[in-house]
Structures are given as structure tokens and as C-alpha cells.
Amino acid sequence: MRTQVVIVGAGPAGLLLSHLLGLEGIDSVLVERQTAEHVQARIRAGMLEAGTVELLRSVGLGARLDVEGMEHRGIHLQWPGERHHLDFVDLVGRSVTIYGQTEITKDLMVAREKAGHPAYYSASDVALHDVTGSPSVTFVDADGAAQRVDADVVVGCDGFHGPSRLSIPSSQVWERAYPFAWLGVLADVAPSADELIYAWHPDGFAMHSMRSPRVSRFYLQVAPDEDIAEWSDDRIWTALATRLAFSGWTLETGTITEKSVLPMRSFVTTPMRHGNLYLAGDAAHIVPPTGAKGLNLAVADVALLARALTASFRGDDTLADAYSETALQRVWRCTHFSWWMTSMLHRHGDDFDAQLQLAQLRRTVSSVSAATELADNYSGIPL
């Protein structure tokens, strides 16, 4: 096969890039090691920045989002005895929207099928070749047949464990593992709050989120090596009720349908381009989920890269040559914000550290400039 762009990884980043390139008349082929059903079912991010929402609408992917998405003006910050609302619209003129990654993936898959962009799922033995010259990707397809795709450009949207990142020699890596993890819970219960609650508590961080008017998402700070088997439904609801407790407010409970432990870390690899190979999304960077930046960062990468590749295929390599440096500016800004939110809200260290965290929380909710800084980063730097 021959195409202009072969995209390794058919999650939201890869699917969106294929869609954006297709709108510009640029051919692409997607190669994904998981089944389509697995990709579509992955429960990940659920908060979309204002710029992400605007982009999806502008490229014909906003129909279900506009009906089912839950627009939020801001978030609640809480610690024992206090809960404060930060209104992003008042502070920076931007809102955020709750719309699950699974739903974005569904929308993108439907768009891909309508456009007829080729995609190979359940691919094994995926390998990249000659990325600084005439690149190609080889793999074994779902039927066991060996395949080769020649292209002008290869884009790695295949996450941390994919082959794309490892195809860049002498890359520089920055990484930080945090001394805690999240126990994530999905429950069939209507949200108990109008917007997300980020709660600092002596027992550890807790978060009340949602996926729809009927499904809620919760997180509890736990140890990185926590045994999920030790957390019964009753223990989870008790811990959530304790850490999210607030006078006059009740946490509604329901059937827990999914629970898992998510380690927390920051990871950045540079450069994000090597010859005709480009990295986007988790293949280049991972952030702790506290600031809700993972999916939005991937969208920002892809939006930038789609413009750069479109210009390059039309004879102007300026944006393509600057892609890595330009993308990394946002990556490091969002990495810092995610680290800051994580460090402020998760119980760690001693009682001295706890007092510093509470001082920062009080400053954030009482200072317009501090609240504006959080709102500006959380709602998203414009694409």
C-alpha cells in the first residue's frame, strides 16, 4: 500500500488526525494493535477544554456533543468545612464540557467509516522503518497476513508502550512518579453536584466527577500498590462520603460498574519529531489526570500537526519544522499545571506540607489573580 500519512494508533488522537487530514484532501492509513471494540470501550478522560470543543464543532464532530455534553462554568475546590466555586466564565470567559472519551471515539469512528479512511485493527508486530528517509510501517493484520504501508510521513499516536516513541534515537526523557495513585470508580447514579468537586482531605484526595446525567465518576487517593480487591463497594462509598463531606450536602450512591487503580506520573520525551516521524499525544507525554489535560493535550498536538502537515504537502515546511518546539511549549505548560494541581490537592509529606497545601487552597479561592490563573489553565490555553 501507498499513502501520504500512516498513523500508528487509532485512539482519539490518531482518529482525529486522520479526520483533519481527510478534510484537507490528504490520504492516511490507521494501524492499531487493539480491536476496534477495545479502543471504543476504553474509559479515560471526560473533561474537554473550550478549545477542544470549538475544534470538534468546527470539523463536523459536534452533533452529539452539543446534545449530550454537559457544559460547566467551573469547578468546586474543597477542604474540610469549606467548599468554594470558581466560575471560569466570569474569570476568563471560557467554560469546559463533560463528554467522555468513549463518546468522542464513537463519533470519530463513525466519521472515519463515512469518509472511507482505511484502518487496520488488531495489528501485531507493528514496526517502523527508515523514518528519516522513505518511511514505511509493517505489521501483521487481523487475518494473519503480512502488510506494508509506504508513506511520506509516519505519525505515532500509539501511546507510551507503542513502537513510535522508541524509533527516535537519543531522545531525552523527563519523568516523575508520584507517591500515590487514583482509585477510579464508575457508578450508575446521577451526579450529586452540578460541577466537579476537587477535595483535599487528611485521609487523601477525593474527586466527584460525572460522565452523563445518569452516570457519575469518582476518584480516591490510594497507594500506588493498592490492591483493588481490598476495596469493597461499601468501603469505597464510605471513603467518598468521608472525604467529600460538606454540611447540607449528601452524596448519592448507586451501583458501581467499574473500578481500577491508576498510577500517577508525569512523562515528557523530546524531540517530538525525527525526520519524517512525528509523535502526538501519550506517545510523547503523560500527565497526572488531576488537571484534566491528557486528552486535551493530544487534541492540541493533532490540531497543530494537521496544520503543519497540510502546509508541508503544499510546499511550506515552516510549521512542520517548528512542530516539536511549538508543541512542547504547551506540553510543558500543561505538565506544570497538572503537577501544581496534583501537589496542592493530594495528601503527602508531613503536617507542615498539609498546612502549605491549605494555605495555597485558601489563596486560590480568595485571590482573583490566583483563581484566574487556575481558570485560564484549566479551561485551556487557546489552540
Task: Give the CA distances from residue 108 to residues 102, 111, 160, in Å, rounded to whole numbers and listed in that order.
Answer: 10, 5, 22
The C-alpha atoms of residue 376 and residue 168 are separated, in whole angstroms, by 33
β-strands 255-270, 206-210: how paired? Answer: unpaired
How buried is residue 275: exposed, middle or buried, by Cβ count under 10 Å (0-12/13-18/19+)? middle
Decide if 259 is catalytic: no
Q: 119, 124, 134: which is closest to 17 by C-alpha?
A: 119
Q: With contact defined as beta carbons under 8 Å apart, do 9 and 139 qualify? A: no
How buried is residue 81: exposed, middle or buried, by Cβ count under 10 Å (0-12/13-18/19+)? exposed
Catalytic residue among 117, 293, 323, 346: 293
Q: 230, 15, 222, 1: which is closest to 103 by C-alpha?
A: 15
- In whole angstroms, what separates CA 179 from the centre of its chain? 21
Catalytic residue among 99, 120, 198, 278: 198
Phi-psi region of 40 (alpha: psi -120 to 50; beta: other; left: phi over 0): alpha
Catalytic residue among 120, 278, 323, 378: 378
Task: Give the CA distances from residue 46 to residues 173, 217, 254, 295, 315, in Å, rounded to whole numbers and listed in that order.
Answer: 27, 9, 20, 9, 38
Residue corresponding to grid cell 476504553: 42
Q: 285, 302, 278, 299: which is closest to 338 by C-alpha?
A: 285
Catalytic residue among 72, 117, 274, 346: 72
| Residue type, position 93, single letter | G
Decide if 378 is catalytic: yes
Catalytic residue among 99, 288, 289, 323: 289
Decide if 198 is catalytic: yes
Among all residues, which ones are annotated catalytic?
72, 198, 289, 293, 378
